[in-house]
Amino acid sequence: MPGRPHASTAKSSSSFTTNAYSSISAAPNAVGDPSRPPGLVVVTFRILVGAGLGFYFFVVFCIARASLGGFGMSTFLFLKCAAVSLIMGAFMVWLAPFLELPEIWYRHRLPSKRLARGECPDCGYPRAPGTTRCAECGSERNSPPPWQFGARTIRLFAIVATVSFVAGCGVALAWIAADERAFVREASLARGAYSRERAWPMQFAPLAIDDAGTLSAPTIAIEGERDPNWRPRRPTGNVE
């Protein structure tokens, strides 16, 4: 970084090493973040969490579509399935802090461990007893910066969740359409009434075609009938 002031500790014979270091990492006393996690770790981690979320949306969308019954996809059905996926997505909000695990580790946990070992929290160089300033990087930090849940975490989660939602629903649409196309092909080979389960994860819902060639996929209802005379009872032997 040309033109940027180096660590002010660069005075004596150690100036070469200090300069070499500060040209690699950010100058310690600048506004930059010395304990920033490696970009590859951050990107890989977010992709993994996003993929997990996308898979969740895919499964929810497929199950919603199969439960609603019928063959093919209309705008109304699509909106219904997307709405169900969105509502079910609320259960995944707890993943928001999880997305920032690399930051929590590199900015908080790792500096804490280094301090506990008597090392500089920013670069890990052993700190001489009684000193408050790192001889290597010049950091004067004596406690790790705390991790805080805030607008940044929510914004990050919103971005990852939106991409996962769109991808999950899109893949589910293609998956359901491919399964139904495959069913029509199989039915034409079967020549007559034919029925089978939908593809994973919708095996609970059947697809069928009758002798007249009418395609059908029944709405999945909860089995069994409710007894209208049933009333909750007090446990016996527990009368007050």
For residue 10, state whether it binds Zn ion (rule: CB under 5 A).
no
- Judged by CB under 5 A, the stretch of 56-64, 130-138, 155-163, 226-234 that binds Zn ion is 130-138
Beta strand residue intervals within 90-197, DSSP E: 194-197
Q: Does residue 27 interact with Zn ion by CB under 5 A?
A: no
The nearest distance, CB 134 to Zn ion, in angstroms, is 3
> Which residues, other chains included, contact 31 with Cβ-Cβ below 8 Å and sequence gap of 6+?
none
Residue 123 found at the interface with Zn ion (CB under 5 A) = yes
* Residue 125 binds Zn ion (CB under 5 A): yes
- Interface residue with Zn ion among 9, 18, 85, 139 (CB under 5 A) is 139
Q: Which residue in 136, 164, 165, 207 binds Zn ion (CB under 5 A)?
A: 136
For Zn ion, the closer of residues 21 and 56 by Cβ is 21
137 interacts with Zn ion by CB under 5 A: yes
Q: Applying CB under 5 A, does 7 fall inside the site for Zn ion?
A: no
Output the six-digit token pair for 57: 């949306």
For β-strands 215-216 and 194-197, DSSP reports them as: unpaired
Q: Site map for Zn ion, 66-105, x if CB under 5 A?
A: ----------------------------------------
Beta strands in 101-232 (DSSP E): 194-197, 206-209, 215-216
With helix as H, strand as E and coil as C, how does 78-102 read? HHHHHHHHHHHHHHHCCHHHHCCHH
Our CB check for Zn ion shows the closer of 17 and 216 to be 17
205 contacts: CB under 8 Å, gap ≥ 6:
66, 67, 69, 197, 198, 217, 218, 220
β-pairing, 215-216 vs 206-209, is: antiparallel
Does position 62 interact with Zn ion (CB under 5 A)? The reply is no
Instruction: Considering only the stretches 96-104, 115-123, 178-186, 187-195, report the one whose residues sit in contact with Zn ion under the rule CB under 5 A.
Output: 115-123
**Token pair belonging to 10:** 């660069």
Point out which residues bind Zn ion (CB under 5 A).
120, 122-123, 125, 134, 136-137, 139
